[in-house]
A and B are shown apart, each in its own frame.
Chain A
Amino acid sequence: MIYKLFQAIDQTLGIQQAKAHCDVPCGIYDPIVAQISALTVVRMIDLMTDLEGKGGEKNKEYFNSMARYVAVKEEHAEKAKAEIRVIWGDFLKAQHLEKHPDTHALVHKIMQLGSKSRQAVDREAAVQFVEAINEFAQIFWEAKGVATKRAKAPYAPALELVYPAL
């Protein structure tokens, strides 16, 4: 009754709008980009180690390949950090953080591991980077109400990733 009255006023006089504004498009977030980027960092370290292990002359071909591996490692470590920052800053809300109070510390850990992965050729740190992002993915999917599973990535390096169990 009251709603119909207000609706009639709106239709005849027009009522000012109060926008409960959202980003457009709404809700397209997925930690998989960060996970794959972190995995790429590990893969680049493996390729660098393989190339070095082959021995032989340190010629321009060698330096070209090594430079490309380093560039991709740099790019993907930064990409993973950026993706996590977006989900952390834009998607996660107070109620999610209340449920997972260690999230801020986890994100800080991811940022530091990402930086370490750029600065050094440290496979252990890169694997920890993947695992910390997996932990973040677990929190993200739980916030979305989606169950998860762990499975080995179907490509090298075949490390375990957290996937939504759809």
Chain B
Amino acid sequence: MLRLLKVTGNSLTPRFQTGDFVIVSKIPFFFAPVKAGDVVAFHQPGYGTLIKLVESLDPVSGELTVTGTQPESVDSRVFGPVKKSALLGKVIWHVAKPR
């Protein structure tokens, strides 16, 4: 139900940076569906476990368009929409690396 993950990469800077820890969970989805603005972790074939910002949700297919906060982010522009079944959870706790 809860999963502890370590962030690597720069596509969500400055909000999330390499070395930060996050706890993700599917529990919030029992109370409210995933929505634009959520930060989610998911499994993407060929890339592994990714953490991205939800940009939009297709009302028909339920697939998510995910993005980063940096122009160079590799996201749905590169690998297309993300299926809900690939979601590992929503970020419910963020522990930033001391800077």
Chain A contact residues, CB within 8 Å of chain B? 2-3, 6, 9-10, 15-23, 26-27, 29, 89-94, 143
Contacts and interface: CB of A to CB of B under 8 A. Distances in A.
Contact of B77 (A15, A26, A90): A90
A27 B72 contact: yes
Interface of B: 3-13, 16, 18, 21-22, 24, 41, 47-52, 55, 67-74, 77, 95-98
Contacts of A6: 4, 6, 21, 95
A9 B55 CA distance: 32
Does more than half of chain A's interface fall in helix, strand or loop, or is it mixed?
Answer: mixed
Contact of A18 (B6, B13, B98): B6
Contact of A20 (B9, B55, B98): B9
6 closest A-B pairs by beta carbon, nearest first, are A20-B9, A18-B51, A18-B5, A20-B11, A20-B12, A26-B72
Contacts of A16: 3-6, 49
Given A15-B21, A27-B71, A89-B77, A21 B95 contact: no
Contacts of B74: 21-23
A23 B5 contact: no
Contacts of B52: 20
B6 A17 contact: yes
